[in-house]
Amino acid sequence: MAENSRKIVLIHKRAPGDTLVLTGLVRDIARAHPGRFEIDVDTSAPDLWLHNPHVTPFRRRPGIAKQKVEYVKIQYGRGIRDQNHETVHFLSYFHRDFHRQCHVTVPVGLPYPDLHLSEEEKVPVFEGQPYWIIISGGKSDFTAKVWSSINFQQVADALRSRGLGVVQMGSNDKGHWHPPLSGAVNMVGQTNLRDMMRIMYHADGVICGVTCAMHMAAALQRPCVCIAGGREAWWWEAYVNENKGFGPASGKLKVPHRFLHTIGMLECCKHHGCWRNKVVKISEDKSLCYKPIARPGQTLPVCMDMITVEHVMEAVMSYYTDTSLPAISPTPPKPAEVQIVRGPSAEPAPPTPPTKPARPRLLDIFADLPASTNGAVNGNGNGATKPVAPKKSNQRVRKANASVTVPTDMLRLAPGANLRGRGQGNNPKVAMVPGKGGQQLAVDQRVFDHEDVGGKFTVFALLYGPEEFHDLHRRCITSIIATAPKDRIDFRVGSNALNPRSVAMVDELVAAGRITKHYRNETNRYKYPLMREMFRDPDCPIKTKWVVWFDDDSIADRTPDWLAILAQAIIQHHKADNAHMFGSKFVWTLQSGQKEWFESRPWHRGKPWRLHNGKPSPNGNRIIFATGGWWALTHESIVKCDIPCGDLEHNGGDYTIGEQLYQGGYEVKAFNSRKQFVHTSSVNRRGVTTRMPGMQKVLQVR
């Protein structure tokens, strides 16, 4: 650097995606004015600047305070207003703001952000299959940017039917949510930005909304299908060669994105984006979608609902037919309605006759469940067809394919990947392959072999209800199989009045050896009578030290290594604190008549009632318990305390179990209190109504 170079610190503290776009300005300053500037940065997401040759970290240099340093708060806020009446891209607006504040013209040199990977980071993270990254959720402050989770699952199924792996990514920080994708490698919350760059660098492409991943894909020159709708104008966000908003650099993209938008198709986004934040009201935010539309499990902006699975898959497959990626199959027909903005070089080639795929097909034990099971797409191998209702003939097909061999070349973590993860340089703990967690989890397997854990857990899940709950049942079951090491669980499923699709799913997993036994009841016998049957099955007795319970609305999607974390908690607290139950801890206040009911039970030992803090007291009227949707309990306490009480039907069992444990001399330990490991009560209350023990009042229960 020249001694008289101008020293500038660029300050920007907004979201990581915004900081990522800012990297383009720093690169272009160096390209347009070599030697004239020293640029340092003070931004969010500092990892995005690692290995960047255009940044000179001088802010903490000794003696820098005596030199002339300019601090520039670089912004793009005016651009959101200006882009309503002119064609300008988000990236180029940083250049415009730099000119406004520093009086230096910096043309956009390249129409994408600037990222730099080390040679170590260029080592592949996965092996076994080519793959696409899917970002299936978003942030609670911008729900209008998120597409249907059901559609994302159908896209994942369609990709896998073509021999492509799926890696699900995203943050699990407060305010973020990412509905789990069955059959995907679950990396949600397990990576930092550098890891995400590495994984994306080797991916075939990315499918996401308008988010950081889209900008990262552009910087790494990777294919990206962006599901944008009408919230933001395509010229403000899209990395496509038609976009003139980059100025002189427009049209220079080697890998243009496929930006699926509805600008000009609805009154609310007729001329530009609406910039609405929420679909429905959350907190006090009044920036609500003009045209929300209710869909199963999710309310969407109508602009996002207009974008279909077929649109997304057509965009994905165009990368293979235009030779941006190695061809794997012919292109599906192009659907109408939604505009797909792409560069001139990205026009798909004419479809070719079907041939044997050039890449091995990705299969797992869920491949022949009703996609079969989830109503995703036609089972014709093409993937991008309209959603169809399951046909009766599918039942015969599924039975014929009930035994599926899992190939050894599935997508898996490559040896020596050495991801940094969210901790201080530690490898992330990731469930890599559904049903293969015991071989792939990056955790010390010795934690399960501790004498207090016993090597293995018996896991029970109870499913209930008609076909409208099938997706919930599927999420519950597949999340357990995808995250719990296969050789560390004995998995059993009970069902009450279960719909045929969910029954078929469970029975196929029994046939595949993933579920030990299905306790099926044609009618609703209620929760606790069925629990007693499962816990006391003479033909299939419990042989483990610990039992884990899942209601069907409890989903193991928050932390892939939840079972190992539970094992660690057991080692720490089982003997030290006499903890025989782990779960989300609550306090129940006894109602009129309940004391007499409890004291008349044969398992009651006469121990005094407790206060809110758990201390026994003559004036006590409280029970300490774990919520009933998910918990872990010793088999010893089940036997000695006669759990669950034989007088229970469907309600009051959680606090009754808490009192049974206390009367038997055992303690409850708080675990998963913030749903950080298992997502309990993931849907609204549903089901029947029963009378709570010792009470006259009837309350609704799940």
Q: In sequence order, what DSSP letters do the residues of 232-266 get, joined into one string?
A: S-HHHH---TT-GGGGGGTT--SS--EEEE-TTTS
Residue 234 has pLDDT above 60, yes or no: yes
Q: What is the pLDDT of residues 524-570, one digit of tens each?
A: 989 999 999 999 999 999 999 999 999 999 999 877 789 988 998 89
- Reply yes or no on whether the pLDDT at 404 is more than 60: no
Q: What is the pLDDT of residues 87-143, one digit of tens each?
A: 999 999 999 999 999 999 999 999 999 999 999 899 999 988 899 999 998 887 888
d(CA 83, CA 85): 5
What average pLDDT does this structure show over 432-438? 29
pLDDT score at 25: 98
Tell me the mean pLDDT in the region 459-463. 97
Report whether pLDDT(383) > 80.
Answer: no
pLDDT (average), residues 639-658: 89
Integer CA distances (angstroms), 695 to 455, 590, 628, 691, in order: 41, 10, 19, 7
Is the pLDDT at 695 greater than 90, yes or no? Answer: no
Cβ-contact 451, 567 below 8 angstroms: no
DSSP 340-374: EE--GGGPPPPP------SSPPP--TTTTSBTBTT
Q: What is the pLDDT of residue 685?
A: 65
CA atoms of 176 and 186, how far apart (whole Å)? 15
Using CA atoms, how far apart are residues 357 and 232, in angstroms rounded to an integer? Answer: 37
Quote the CA–CA distance of 54 and 286 in Å, as a whole number. Answer: 41
- Residue indicated by tokens 């190992």: 564
Predicted confidence at residue 153, as pLDDT, reads 93
Q: What is the structure's pLDDT at 422?
A: 59
Q: CA-CA distance, 563 to 455, in Å (whole number)?
A: 12
pLDDT 10s digits, 147-178? 998 999 999 999 999 989 999 999 888 778 88
Q: Percent of the chain at pLDDT above 70? A: 81
* Average pLDDT of every residue of the chain: 82
Helices assigned H by DSSP within 387-454: 392-400, 437-440
Split at pLDDT 50, 70, 90, the class of 676 is: confident
